[in-house]
Amino acid sequence: MDRARRILLLSALYLAQGMPFGLQANALPAYLREYGLSLTAIGFAGVLAVPWMLKPLWAPLVDRFGERRRWIQALLALLALTSFAGAWLSIDDLKVLALLVLGLNALAATQDIAVDGLAVDILSTEELGPGNAAQVVGYKIGMIAGGGVLVALAGPAGLPRVFVMMAGLFVVVLLLSFALPTDAADRPRENASLAAVLARLFDALRLPGAAWLFAVVGTYKLGETVIDAMYKPFLVDLGYSAERIGVLAGTYGMIASIAGSVCGGALARYRPVLIAVAIAAALRVFPLAGEWWLTVDAAPSEAAVAIITTAEHFFGGLLTTTVFALMMSRVDPRIGATHFTLLAAVEVWGKLPVSTAAGALTERVGYSTAFAVGVGLSVAFLALLVPLSRTRHA
């Protein structure tokens, strides 16, 4: 299979698994509010995304049993069937709706394991940049589809029609997946036992630089998270409406984020991957500093807010893609699904404590100081790249 077809297929697969999370994160809160749920209850609905956090627990099973292709096709079929069922089940019963969304997230998270393993298997070193750009961009487009486009197309028909359209898209991607090679890999994997898969994972975690890699993956978003968690409330306090913020962050910002991800793929292709991460991380500091500057400017112009918001999304996408390429470059291909899934989970887990504490920090010290902390964390992150560069993978 040629490079272009591999990249396009990966993008389609990641798009499919982004739709359930986009529905849960972006569309479900509005629907739940229409059903009359309290804001507290809607906040707790975030637990429906828990399969994405826990997927390392069953990732070894994907490495141990079956081909990537079979896993992917079976999961796409189950995603289509589950989505189609959503059009016929009584989703006015919130328990049924919650179980349906939880099930879609569990299936999509498991497919993510298999597709990550597939990417490790079929991408060459020079393809890590474009391949991970396809991953990030495909997933973001899937989120936009599941949480925005399909909701708009459904109109008054609401969630039942959203589920039917999602089922149709899953079927389309399922048909595309038959273009995958029958072994789903250019590099054959050993038929190791589950115990051997786990043993290889522990061996990989003991390699020189493994701890530094975990530190980099777990902290590269810390400063950004401190600021992002409070940036929209800051804009509200500045006088911006929710609709205007939606245009700035949800439309312009998402377009810029996708563009940044594409550029990140090119950067990781034409520069050593760790150098690409360092460049992206250094550039990312500037728009974060710009967001801090907005907090000390007495009356920032709307143009300044738009430019800084768009730039932050662009360089955030740039950095994310290069870090994902770095993660994939350090994975043991014999246990690609398990190893990469663990690293991806560390990336999620690393952001959670900071995201949770950002509100309390800002209430105590104010926007300006909290955003300065975020900028400082982003600058400090650059120092972690130095010891990682001294390991044998650099």
CA nearest to 218, candidates 375, 323, 289: 323
Return d(Cα 262, Cα 134) in angstroms, integer: 8
Q: What are phi and psi of 296, to 5 degrees?
A: -105, -10
Q: Which residues of 107-119 are buried (b: 16+ CB within 10 A; e: fewer)?
A: bbbbbbbbbbbbb
What's the rounded Cα separation, in Å, for the pair 20 and 164? Answer: 13
pLDDT, one tens digit per residue, over 44-87 is 666 787 888 888 888 888 877 778 888 999 999 999 999 998 88
Using the 8-state DSSP alphabet, how is residue 370 labeled? H
Where a domain ends, among 189, 210, 238? 189
Task: Examine the fold and report which residue of 149, 169, 189 is the final residue of a domain before the chain moves on.
Answer: 189
Q: How confident is the model at residue 187 (pLDDT cuts 50, 70, 90)?
A: very low
The answer to whether residue 394 is domain-embedded is no
**Co-location of 322 and 347 in the same domain:** yes
Q: Are residues 378 and 259 in the same domain?
A: yes
Query: What is the pLDDT, as a whole number, of residue 88?
Result: 82
pLDDT tens by residue, 218-260: 999 999 988 887 888 888 888 887 667 767 776 788 889 889 9
% of the chain exceeding 90 in pLDDT: 30
Question: How far is 18 from 109, CA to CA, in rounded Å?
Answer: 9
Q: How many domains does the chain have?
A: 2
Q: Which domain holds residue 55?
A: 3-189
Answer yes or no: is 185 within a domain.
yes
d(CA 140, CA 325): 16
Tokens of 341: 């899934």
Q: Do 249 and 174 fall within a single domain?
A: no
Is 273 part of any domain? yes
Asked if residue 282 and residue 135 are part of one domain, the reply reads: no
- Does 217 lie in the same domain as 184? no
* 304 plus 218 within the same structural domain: yes
Q: Which residue has the tokens 């699904």?
A: 337
Indicate if 369 and 238 belong to the same structural domain: yes
Q: Which of 159, 189, 219 is the last residue of a domain?
A: 189
* 370-380 per-position pLDDT tens digit: 999 999 999 99
CATH code of the domain covering residue 130? 1.20.1250.20
Could you tell me if 178 and 207 lie in one domain?
A: no
Are residues 168 and 240 both part of a single domain? Answer: no
For tokens 């790249």, what's the residue? 385
Check: CB of residue 264 under 8 Å from CB of residue 320.
yes
Same-domain check for residues 176 and 72: yes
Sign of the Cα pseudo-torsion (178, 265, 258, 240, in order): positive
Does residue 194 lie in a domain region?
Answer: no
Q: Which residues contact 124 (CB under 8 A, 6 or more apart)?
A: none
- 245 and 232 in contact (C-beta within 8 Å)? yes
